[in-house]
Amino acid sequence: AASCSGCGPGYRSPLDAMKGPREEIVYLPCIYRSTGILKPDYLATVDVDPKSPTYCQVIHRLPMPNLRDELHHSGWNACSSCFGDATKARNRLILPSLISSRIYVIDVGTDPRAPKIHKMVEPVDVLWKCNLANPHTSHCLGSGQIMISCMGDPSGAGKGGFLLLDGETFEVIGNWEHPGEAAPFGYDFWYQPRHNVMISTEWGAPKALVDGFNPAHVKEGEQAFLRGRFTRDLKENMDPMIPLALKPYHSVRPVF
């Protein structure tokens, strides 16, 4: 929810967000892959309002129309990066599928307690337009576009590239990174909207991970990458061990 009338989605600052109303529902991607249950993944809506008679209960399930997607990280179509744009609304949830390379766009605005599928971006669009596969993390940008990190190429080899979706039509625009500047592997990413900074991490080649983590492949994912958020150039490689999830430091001035 916006913190003022006439503003875009989200909040002006982390402090404003802390003062905002607490959530009444949450959305959880639920995955069946590798469980032996041949059912599609689904998005669960859970009531987290302590005053509600259905508190801590699943109040809705939205099954995906395909099997073996493996829903993973989710993201919004618009967020605080668009706070200054009153034409934007946080009304779509982006669900990348790690294994199928399909991307679901979920309508959570019409009926937040009973979401429905708004659009599907099929794997062929990701593969042919971007030469990428295995989408992982989705973040909305201040431009109104949506950026998704990918872990591999269509053959299953490692490739840490980023694809862009149009924030209105949800069509694949193309690659975010400069030609030839994809990282060897991909995983998570986060950017600092107040600075020209974006950090991404790597895990390994999808074809080596699709059937489970193998410690022998640790050396395939040892780096984090520092990029210019606006210039998109690769500035620095860092060398931690198996860097995975990224979270920014929620303060106005510090970067990460």
Q: Is residue 89 part of a domain?
A: yes
Q: Is residue 1 part of a domain?
A: no
Q: Which two tokens stand for residue 36?
A: 């032996």
Q: What is the CA radius of gyration of the chain?
A: 18
Q: CB burial class (10 A; 0-12, 13-18, 19+) of residue 159?
A: buried
pLDDT of residue 46: 98
CATH number of the domain residue 193 falls in: 2.130.10.10
Query: Domain total for the chain?
Result: 1
How far, in Å, CA of 76 to CA of 11, rounded?
Answer: 14
CB 189 within 8 A of CB 200: yes
How far, in Å, CA of 149 to CA of 135, rounded?
Answer: 6
What number of CA atoms fall less than 13 Å from residue 48's CA on the CB side?
11
CB 227 within 8 A of CB 196: no
- Ordered per-residue pLDDT tens for the chain, 256 residues: 444 556 767 777 777 878 888 999 999 999 998 899 999 999 999 999 999 999 999 999 999 999 999 998 999 998 766 666 777 788 999 999 999 999 999 999 999 999 999 999 999 999 999 999 999 999 998 888 999 999 999 999 999 999 999 999 999 999 999 999 898 889 898 887 667 778 888 888 899 888 776 666 655 545 555 554 455 555 555 555 555 666 666 555 555 4
Q: Is residue 3 part of a domain?
A: no
Q: Is residue 105 part of a domain?
A: yes
Q: Is residue 251 part of a domain?
A: no
Q: Is residue 2 part of a domain?
A: no
Of the candidates 96, 99, 160, 163, the one whose C-alpha atom is nearest the C-alpha of residue 126 is: 163
Q: Is residue 117 part of a domain?
A: yes
pLDDT of residue 79: 78
pLDDT of residue 248: 64
pLDDT of residue 142: 82
Q: Write out the residue range of the structural domain in which residue 154 sits.
A: 14-238
